[in-house]
Structure 1
Amino acid sequence: MKRTTLSLIAGAGALAAVTGFAALSAPEATGTDTTKAAAQLPVERSSLACPAPSTSDLAETTYTSFTPVTDGTGGEGKGELLPAGGGKAEKPVLKPKEPGSPVSGDSSGGEAPALIGTAEGKFAPGWTVQQTTEVAAGAGRGLLGVSCSAPDTDFWFPGASTADGRTDYAHLTNPDDSAAVVDIELYGKDGALESTVGEGITVAPRSSEPILLSTLTDAEETDLTVHVNVRSGRVGAAVQALDDKAGGDWLAAAADPAGSLVMPGIPKDATAVRLVAFTPGGTDADLTVRLASPNGLITPAGNETLRVKSGMTTALDLGDVTRGEAGSLVLTPSDQAVPVVAAVQVVRGKDGSQETAYIPATRAVGTRATSAGNAGKGVTLSLTAPGEAAQVKVTVSAGTEGGTAASKTYSVKAGTTQDVQVPVPSGLEGTFALTVERVSGGQVYASRTLAATQDGVPAFTVQTLPDDRGTVAVPEAEQDLSVLQK
């Protein structure tokens, strides 16, 4: 999202259209300049949508809510997560505590609904909800995690599939009081797949619809790019990718199409890494493929470049590219920059004991990124500085049931990925949240991995950490009555 200095009227309209917004105060009359430099103010309202976690009777789901402390928010506010389809009078599933203190809740079985959340005032800036589900057996067994997403109108999901053995759903959640109308477009290796079923899907007010991708097309595609385009209204969207043998996870939306992309935090013990890319424009993209390792940027042997043909999903097998070290995939234009979306499918373990997760290309940490639902063990934070070196401050909260917050500053060398040891809160009880802030230097990209062993299966899930957009640029404006005389 571009943040530019706007006129007072245009600024108010633009701010009302985004998930979080900041109030505009009445300007003082001066009769001179009408605008000043934009100020960064905390957003005053945030919305989130959490998809229904699982249909498995064996599912155990934990929700964790966290709002980081943000200067300038005042002392008022409220927040809550409600079941989709339950009406506004429904009892909240979860209500945030004070900023800086995480709160969690649990559900069991396959009947847990999608959730719709709103936070206002001091609870709005950077509000984050993590949904983590453990499934002991069946399709998609393992650890499935997703950061509940802000509703929007356009989403790209490279990495989905309709191949034999895969069961992938696009979950659409409408948080508003009017219906949303959505088109789902599918792109395989040869281009767009013909389907009329995916056009004009109606998502009722304050409800959620899981759409099985294999019902939208007869084609069996190993690598698929899903485009969710909202004609009217807005939705939260995520793809649940379930494999009969290799586990599964949530595939979050990739960052907007761009010429250069970063997919941070590939586990160092990954046994298979598969890059899936797509360009929505009318021009082919030629990309240079590099891995940001702890020692710098390296080019995978035999996979130095990738051509992504216009309108066609392209995949590249990179094998065990990390070779026991932390790594992040960095894509840059070989020639002219062409907008691309991308994600990597990551597998840990060996045949019979495999688990799968997905890392979409993501936005940079920016000012601050927030992650909730971290346990004392099995948490890995990956930091990547693909350009200039950077310094990053990591702050961990107290636990949901006790503990003392802590922070530490890390240096990340240019072109490298560093897996950092998260400073676990003293006296930790429950799960904790963490925030990542860029202190100085170049752009930083980050992800958080949760890992657990289930009957010998290395279960894991990865969530990227883009800027939490806790503040918004608001122009200072002054009255200029001279415009009435023109």
Structure 2
Amino acid sequence: MKRAPLTLAAVAAALAAVTGIASFTAPGEPGGTTAKAAVRMPVERSALLCPAPSGSDVAETAYTSVTPAGGSGQASPGGRPGAQLLTAGKTVKPLLTLKEPGKPVAAKASGAEAPALAGAAEGALAPGWAAQQTTVVPVGSARGVLGVGCSAPDTDFWFPGASTAKTRQDYLHVTNPDDSTAVVDIELYGPDGRLKSDSGAGEGIPVPAKSSVPVLLSTLTATPFADLTVHVTTRTGRVGAAVQVLEDGVGADWLPASADPSGALVLPGIPADATSVRLVAFATGDDDADLTVKLAGPGGSISPAGHEQLHVKSGMTAVADLKDLTRGEAGSLVLAPADAGRAAPVVAALRVVRGTGEKQELAFVPATGPVGDRATAADNRATGGTLSLTAPGAEAVVKVTASAGTEAGEPATKTYTVKAGATLAVQPPVPAGLKGSYALTVETVSGGPVHAARTLALPADGIPMFTVQTLPDDRGTVAVPEAEQDLSVLGG
């Protein structure tokens, strides 16, 4: 999923104000100057969307919002930076208002009426702004913990791992933050390609301004499929999208969008005690994809016996049942082209189950991009957290910072070294004197790229309830070409 900062025009305007008039010309052109290499500048505005959390009357939802400390964002126009998440719908009111970087804020909601949220952060609160909602449904056929990081609006999403099986109720939640109606198309792809609909279901779905629309995926096809890939695009407007999964007798959670299609993917954060892991992949391009499958564990990477490779036909969904491949050691899945010269773009996700029998719970791990400069998981508790760090290539060093608590607690920092080809699973640092929840921020210090995920375990009545959130780069900065002043354009 692409995440486009909304700041390029503002940055360009700022540059113009500083330099007067900037002239970009070809190297060596008389009277001109050559544009310098791009520099990274903090974004000045960020937007986030959160889906409606649950349709259960007994649901309890916790919201957390934070901007990491130590950023270099500038004050917003008027000198008053702000970040608010507002309820979406006819009645708009603030739910969370962030006032300073490094100090998360939290709120709670109960029952089935909790709405979707939309919001924006400006100025010093914009770079790295993050929010999460964590919902606990204690009873019912699809009880569980449903966690999702609020995401930026976009126009294109891929969801491998969805289903229209009779035991599943998968709802695609589409949220429109803008003042005009968005129009969305939904395509479903099974093991033999795209599912056709004579009625045109899924085409041209209107999403009214500042509202959220849930779509039950089983209403878009007459034939149930255990494993599907969902492609969501907009004809007009931009939206947030996530799939809420309710599986009878197993559990519930959110399926976030996969990272953008790529020839190589990393799916970080498989719990050590996973009893079932299923890989769902889809080839988005015109060519089939032949992928090597490796499990990056504490000691390095291995190929799962019987699943060393996966063939994914173009435009079709492929599945690999990896069972309990972690066998007591936390790990991450690394997919790479079997022939480096013939890489085909794919998207992928994992359905992960902990527990057995009536004491099961599920979560989803989509392919995710590297941490990059910085990434944040907003909602963390004093106990129950596991941070997974994977270095698929070279060894890497990362810094992990625990923010202040929402009610009390002093920040704490630890540095970790992740071996090449391995996954390091740790209990993250916790703020001293913590009250409430807190945020975890991961920063790459040196070495190769690192992929990360945070597991939050909230067990209840013997059920290992949990949710997993991946930590891609927060895109808190944007590349802006440097320009030199050229006053010759003012001459006659």
Say whether the fold is shared (TM-score over 0.5): yes
SS of equivalent to 2:218: helix
Question: What displacement does 1:270 show?
Answer: 0.0
* 2:388 pairs with 1:388: no
* 2:246 pairs with 1:242: yes
The equivalent of 2:193 in structure 1 is: 191
| Cα distance between partner residues in 2 of 1:272 and 1:97 | 42
The aligned amino acid for 2:480 is V
The equivalent of 2:478 in structure 1 is: 472
| Cα distance between partner residues in 1 of 2:359 and 2:424 | 27
Q: Deviations over 1:425-471 (max 9, x none)?
A: 11011001010000000000000000011111100000000000111
Question: What displacement does 1:275 show?
Answer: 0.1
Identity %: 65
Question: Among 202, 205, 213, which residue is 2:206 paired with?
Answer: 202
**RMSD value over aligned CA atoms?**
2.0
Question: Among 373, 377, 381, which residue is 2:379 paired with?
Answer: 373
The aligned amino acid for 1:247 is G
The aligned amino acid for 1:135 is V
- Unaligned segments of structure 2, at least 5 residues: 23-30
The equivalent of 2:415 in structure 1 is: 409
SS of equivalent to 1:354: strand
Aligned length: 474
| Cα distance between partner residues in 1 of 2:227 and 2:9 | 31
Question: What displacement does 1:138 show?
Answer: 1.8
The equivalent of 1:354 in structure 2 is: 360
Question: Among 15, 28, 39, which residue is 1:25 paired with?
Answer: 15
Q: Deviations over 1:61-90 (max 9, x none)?
A: 000000012124246311111111135xx3
SS of equivalent to 1:143: strand
Question: What displacement does 1:484 show?
Answer: 9.0
Question: What displacement does 1:366 show?
Answer: 0.5
Structure 1 residues 47-446: aligned runs within 5 Å: 47-69=47-69, 70-74=71-75, 76-86=80-90, 90-195=92-197, 196-335=200-339, 336-446=342-452
Question: What displacement does 1:28 show?
Answer: 4.3
Please identify, of 132-141 and 47-56, the stretch whose mean Cα deviation from structure 2 is larger.
132-141
CA 131–485 in structure 1, closer or farther in 2 if over 3 Å, else same: same
Q: Deviations over 1:71-117 (max 9, x none)?
A: 24246311111111135xx3201111311000000000001010111
| Cα distance between partner residues in 2 of 1:63 and 1:97 | 16
SS of equivalent to 2:260: coil
Q: Deviations over 1:249-290 (max 9, x none)?
A: 100000000000000010000000000000111111100000
The aligned amino acid for 1:423 is P
| Cα distance between partner residues in 2 of 1:162 and 1:22 | 47
Question: What displacement does 1:352 show?
Answer: 1.0
The aligned amino acid for 1:291 is L
CA 104–2 in structure 1, closer or farther in 2 if over 3 Å, else same: closer
TM-score (norm 2): 0.93
CA 478–16 in structure 1, closer or farther in 2 if over 3 Å, else same: farther
The aligned amino acid for 2:256 is A
The aligned amino acid for 2:453 is S
**Residues 2 and 260, structure 2, Cα contact 8 Å, conserved in 1:** no
The aligned amino acid for 1:46 is S
TM-score (norm 1): 0.94
| Cα distance between partner residues in 2 of 1:92 and 1:29 | 40
**Residues 19 and 47, structure 1, Cα contact 8 Å, conserved in 2:** no
CA 84–339 in structure 1, closer or farther in 2 if over 3 Å, else same: same
- Unaligned segments of structure 1, at least 5 residues: 4-13
**Residues 365 and 444, structure 1, Cα contact 8 Å, conserved in 2:** yes
| Cα distance between partner residues in 1 of 2:482 and 2:292 | 43
**Residues 15 and 22, structure 1, Cα contact 8 Å, conserved in 2:** no
CA 204–268 in structure 1, closer or farther in 2 if over 3 Å, else same: same
Q: Deviations over 1:35-77 (max 9, x none)?
A: 2222211111111110000000010000000001212424631
SS of equivalent to 1:458: coil
| Cα distance between partner residues in 2 of 1:101 and 1:28 | 38
